[in-house]
Amino acid sequence: MLALTFPHLPTDRIARRRWGLSWRSAGRPEHPPLVCAGRVKNAMRLTALDEAAEAIGLKPGQGVAEARAICPALDVIAADEVADRQFLEAIADWCDRYTPLVAFDGVDGIFLDITGCAHLFGGEKALLDDVLKRLFHLGLDARGAVSSAPGLSWAAARFGASGVIIADDALGVASPLPVAALRLPEETVLALQKVGLKQVGDLLAAPRAPLARRFGTLVLLRLDQMLGREDEPVSPRRPVADISVERRLAEPVQGEEDLLHLTRQLATTLKSQLEARDQGGRRFELMLFRVDGRVFRIVAGTSMPVRDPVRIGALFCERFAAVHDDLDAGFGFEILRLNVLQAEAYAAVQADFSGAGPVDTSLAAFIDQAVARFGPDCLAQPSLKESHVPERASLLLPAAAARSDEVVPAAPFRAARPIRLLKTPEPVEAMAEVPEGAPMSFRWRRCFHRVRRAEGPERLAAEWWNDGEEAPTRDYFRIEDEAGRRYWLFREGLYEREPRLPRWFMHGVFA
């Protein structure tokens, strides 16, 4: 587990914006110490400092007025926690080049699970050196440590020296660290220091039972996690892709045609892995790592499992056209990665002599490309739903999400339904000859209609599991007025059997 900490994250963010990404490698310009300040307990206090501010003796939590008295030229910037979090998320995106298992550690740290991928970079030491070197050239002060336990990596990165810790050296590295390295609450750390337990080695030498009784079991848990005696799961911030292929380029590329060509090559490699699993992809993600550290994620979905490289390339061609203005190549992209975020079983189809299969996939290809260009809501498809309430029996789903193989069983008996169903039933004024009979006349949208023929009722009870037990019953009637127009009306409620007063509604119009 590789733990990274950024002790000057807020001020590094400001320095990069002011002086460029290479300000650390080029040297800090002549500028007063830089600090961030925010309101803490109704007072303006320092929340973050750069190295120059620390060198003159300023401390986090110090009042701004006191800090200005020490250094009148102090450059004070308002703290922005949202911007700091977005900056940390961008760094985590950049870390995806090493492993997809990246997790946040508070507001200024990141965990990387490098199990099984360190050999790709020449070993753990070479990987750590590469991470720290690249972050330095990106204008960041970063410290890191690698060990088999997240707790020990965290402690060494923040309170020890950067490096790789082997399992046999864990006890020797942990012992001289302060008790604050155990990630304990501040009050617990102060209580331990008051009784002379200032280092982790002091706790290791003390009896465990008295420690647990006096300071709680969390102290022992953190000790065991640091030494690898207790497992500590670290949850990645993003779901891990089912299948992933990538290409690291010797020279960065900028052109859209070059990116599409490389994407099709990645899709060709992806096809063999999908075939080995007898699967096809439903959701793909193309990650583009720019040389300055920014990462672009372009996602494309399909209406059915696919693994044809040409079709996958056509999807991302449409996606590139949709995000053209937002895809800034800058000085070029150095890494491309194609992920399968969702995979399903793939039904292979035998082609005929002309090369076409018995199932026409042109509609699915059109839907996928239209959705990739214009978004998931550009095309909708009606879909049936198991409900006898008319307005719930069907709904419009995005065409890419609707499944043609999902069949809803038909009701054993259902009377004729109108061609046009109103989205929401509209109230009408109706007059019936008998209380529960068909209407003799009704007024709808300010027009009076006299009924010539009526058929019904078709009684539909309410869905008590959705509407509650007090929901009224509906009696539907098919109505024809004197002009020959046919309507679908219903009376909501039953006379003297349900508490609500019955009302009439228009729900549809027949052809």
Structure tokens given for 175: 């012992």
The per-residue pLDDT for 15 is 95
In total, the chain counts a number of residues equal to 511
Q: Of 209, 239, 269, which residue constitutes the final position of a domain?
A: 239
**What is the three-class DSSP state of 241?**
coil
Answer yes or no: do 159 and 20 share one domain. yes
Segments forming the whole domain that contains residue 452: 420-509
Domain count, the chain: 3
89-119 confidence digits (pLDDT tens): 999 999 999 999 999 999 999 999 999 889 9
Count of CB atoms situated within 10 Å of the CB of 122: 11
132-188 confidence digits (pLDDT tens): 999 999 999 999 999 999 999 999 999 988 899 998 899 999 999 999 999 999 999
In the block, which residue shows the tokens 């127009």? 485
> Residue 404 falls within a domain, yes or no?
no
**What is the three-class DSSP state of 64?**
helix
The per-residue pLDDT for 296 is 93
Answer yes or no: do 40 and 174 share one domain. yes
> Residue 283 falls within a domain, yes or no?
yes
Q: What are phi and psi of 88, to 5 degrees?
A: -65, -35
The per-residue pLDDT for 413 is 54
The whole-angstrom separation of Cα 285 and Cα 268 is 15
Q: Cα dist. 137→132, 134, 331, 341 in Å?
A: 9, 5, 15, 32
Count of CB atoms situated within 10 Å of the CB of 66: 12
The per-residue pLDDT for 350 is 60
Count of CB atoms situated within 10 Å of the CB of 64: 16
Answer yes or no: do 222 and 273 share one domain. no
Answer yes or no: do 191 and 134 share one domain. yes
The per-residue pLDDT for 59 is 93
The per-residue pLDDT for 226 is 94
Answer yes or no: do 72 and 59 share one domain. yes
Q: Give the residues of the chain that fall short of pLDDT 50.
A: 404-405, 407
Type of residue found at 223: L
